[in-house]
Amino acid sequence: MVINSYLNIQHLKKFLARIGRFSIGLSYFRFCVFFTTIFFMKAGFRGVQPWGDFSPVASFPKPVKTFSSNSYGLIIISKLLNINEKTMFFALNIVLLVVFVSSFYYLIYRKFQLITAKLLVLVFVSSPLFVVMLGNIGRHDLLTITGIIGFLLVNHKIGKIFFLTLGCLGSPEHIAVAFFLYYVGIKVYKFNKFENDAKFAVFFCAAYTLLSSLWIASQTGGGNRFTNILFETGFLKIAARNFLNNFSLEWYSYFGFYWITLTIAIVCLKSVNKFKVITLMLVPLLFNIVMVDKTRDFVIAILPLAILIHKPLFDFVDAKLKSVNKVEFESLVGVFVFLLLIFPSVEVTFEGRPRAPFEWPITKFLENLN
């Protein structure tokens, strides 16, 4: 019995080492293509509104009073490209998704050593962030997320301004909240080298949000995302109902596998910072009870802070990996890849239920057969 158990463990180690060896042996381009495809198949995709309603595009530059009046980026792009049909709009968003994700991979490749770059690609495609991007094709989240990640990856001021502008053209409310939490997190951690960038991001996003909100309110008679959530009939009730229906699964969907790494990162903090960091996480966790879009709202708002909290852990792992031998390294990479593959990728949607990965494309396909 003991011998069989030992042999099984040895087989498992060899299996995991093969996974690690295969991953390490791929070129960076093939690595990105392979694992993006794997996690795309795992997460699925879904097109979302605005389907068929192009009144904001038709009335450009005058804004239309909608739930997302401040999200002007896709409207501008659609107007410039003369897109006024839902299939073309969906195709545009697929192209933008491929371009922006490819840009992430390129920026990561330029900024980090090869092994670290590969691990960061894995972190990205296995995270709820990638699930949200694939599950909301056609929504402004793509611009918001690209703006946040691009700002954190580039070093030049002009590049940072470009990505902040892009993010604000997605959802200025989301990106303003995201960088405010990031700035507070930097003050807690005392990461002084990031403070000036964080201050600039907070000021830029707050100024953009205020000025764009004032302009849109003057054109539409008022109304924005927060007033719609707080005062429009039914939204608070829907949000509370969805939370009660799925609260444990909803919380899991915020980080998925990365709840484990987040817990390790917080445990490794100095005692004086543990309470502050947990409070920083707890505030948006509780606030999301009244938000109707659940996973996507939280994931976007918490993104820079989550990266900041993980940074010491990632730095520690990066340093440790350089000191282990080749066999150990392959096994560790294999364990990491295996865990990422077996943990579920979940998004809890506006409807208050987990999004089935391929429900939308299958439904569309069947509709076209009729």
pLDDT (tens digit per residue) in 82-107? 887 888 888 999 999 999 999 999 99
- Residue 274 banded pLDDT, cuts 50, 70, 90: confident
Assigned token pair, 243: 């939370």
Q: Which of 119-128, 172-181, 194-203, 348-357 has the lowest mean pLDDT?
A: 348-357
Query: Residue 328 above 90 pLDDT?
Result: no
**What residues contact 246, with CB distance under 8 A and at least 6 apart?**
294, 348, 352, 353, 354
State pLDDT tens for residues 230-262: 666 567 788 888 888 888 888 899 999 999 988
Q: Say which residue the tokens 């038709």 belong to.
A: 58
Cα separation, 335 vs 12, in Å, equals 10
Kindly state the percentage of the chain with pLDDT values over 70: 91
Q: Where are the domains of the chain?
A: 16-350
Residue scoring higher pLDDT (185 or 276) = 185
Question: What is the pTM for the complete model shown?
Answer: 0.90
- Residue 144 banded pLDDT, cuts 50, 70, 90: very high
Nearest one of 298, 294, 283 to 184, comparing CA atoms: 283
The predicted structure's pLDDT at residue 231: 61
The predicted structure's pLDDT at residue 358: 93
The predicted structure's pLDDT at residue 3: 54
Mean pLDDT, the chain, rounded, equals: 85
- Residue 280 banded pLDDT, cuts 50, 70, 90: confident
Assigned token pair, 223: 């109304």
Cβ-contact 181, 280 below 8 angstroms: yes
Q: Which of 137-151, 190-204, 209-223 has the lowest mean pLDDT?
A: 209-223
Helix axes 128-135, 86-111, angle to 10 degrees: 160
Cβ-contact 364, 86 below 8 angstroms: no
State pLDDT tens for residues 293-304: 888 888 998 999
Cα separation, 338 vs 346, in Å, equals 17
Output the 3-class SS for the chain.
CHHHHHHHHHHHHHHHHHHHHHHHHCCHHHHHHHHHHHHHHHHCCCECCCCCCCHHHHCCCCCCCCCCCCCCHHHHHHHHCCCCCHHHHHHHHHHHHHHHHHHHHHHHHHHCCHHHHHHHHHHHHCCHHHHHHHHCECCCHHHHHHHHHHHHHCCCHHHHHHHHHHHHHHCHHHHHHHHHHHHHHHHHHCCHHHHHHHHHHHHHHHHHHHHHHHHHHHHHCCCCHHHHHHHCCCHHHHHHHHHHHHHHHHHHHHHCCHHHHHHHHHHCCCHHHHHHHHHHHHHHHHHHHHCCCCHHHHHHHHHHHHHHHHHHHHHHHHHHHCCCCHHHHHHHHHHHHHHHHHCCCCCECCCCCECCCCHHHHHHHHHHHC
Rg (CA), the chain: 22
The predicted structure's pLDDT at residue 115: 87
The predicted structure's pLDDT at residue 362: 92
Q: How many CB atoms lie within 10 A of CB 198?
A: 22
State pLDDT tens for residues 199-223: 999 999 999 998 888 888 777 766 6
- Cα 122 to the center of its chain, rounded Å: 13
Burial (0-12, 13-18, 19+ Cβ within 10 Å), 333: buried
**What residues contact 354, with CB distance under 8 A and at least 6 apart?**
246, 249, 253, 346, 347, 348
Query: Residue 229 above 90 pLDDT?
Result: no
- Residue 118 banded pLDDT, cuts 50, 70, 90: very high
- Residue 145 banded pLDDT, cuts 50, 70, 90: very high
